Amino acid sequence: MSNHAVVTLNFTRPVYAHELRPGDVFAFPDAPHTPLTVGGVKKTVISPELTLLALALHGRRAEPVHLPASTPVRPLRMVRTVSLTCLLCHKPQDVELDLPHDGEPLSLVCGDHAPDTAQNTEGE
Ligand SMILES: [Zn+2]
């Protein structure tokens, strides 16, 4: 039974290019309707203030895109496995969330405490 309940916050904080990982989908703010899938990320530290990223993008172009790590991006898909501890029994549990859709995880109550009334009524 993985009947856990995760409390999430709306994922409204800004996201910067350095948070992207292979498999993520994002768009640049000036081209919000062009989803780009990250194939690979290479970091180059130029100075303490400046890190450059080389982002390989799936199917878009052969050359990676170079940009500062602090470039704001619009996340469209960022699946992350987050380890949360149950608020009630402190049992750790890994939860997979697509942050832009599911929100940012805040706290978790594991399936051990789910009330019977919390049954899923999908399929009506
Ligand atoms: Zn628990």
Beta strands 79-85 and 72-77, pairing class: unpaired
pLDDT of residue 2: 63
Q: What is the domain partition of the chain in residue ranges?
A: 5-12+79-116, 15-75
**Domain range 15-75, its CATH number among 3.40.30, 1.10.3470, 3.40.50, 2.30.30:** 2.30.30
CA of 55 to the centre of ligand 1 (A): 40
Q: How many residues does the chain have?
A: 124
pLDDT of residue 34: 92
* Ion ligand 1: residues, Cβ under 5 Å: 86, 88-89, 110, 112
Considering only CA atoms, which of 32, 37, 6 is closest in space to residue 114? 6
For residues 14 and 73, give the distance between their C-alpha atoms in angstroms, rounded to a whole number.
Answer: 8
**What is the mean pLDDT, run by run of 10 residues, along the chain of 124 residues?**
83 94 96 94 94 90 89 96 94 94 92 66 48
115 touches 20 (CB < 8 A) = no
CA of 78 to the centre of ligand 1 (A): 26
CA of 124 to the centre of ligand 1 (A): 29
pLDDT of residue 123: 47
39 touches 22 (CB < 8 A) = yes
pLDDT of residue 59: 78
Q: Whose structure tokens read 């978790």? A: 108
For residues 29 and 14, give the distance between their C-alpha atoms in angstroms, rounded to a whole number.
Answer: 11
CA of 105 to the centre of ligand 1 (A): 16
Token pair of 48 as six digits: 């303490």
Provide the edge-to-edge strand list for the sheet that holds 25-27. Answer: 15-16, 72-77, 25-27, 36-47, 50-57, 65-68
pLDDT of residue 3: 80
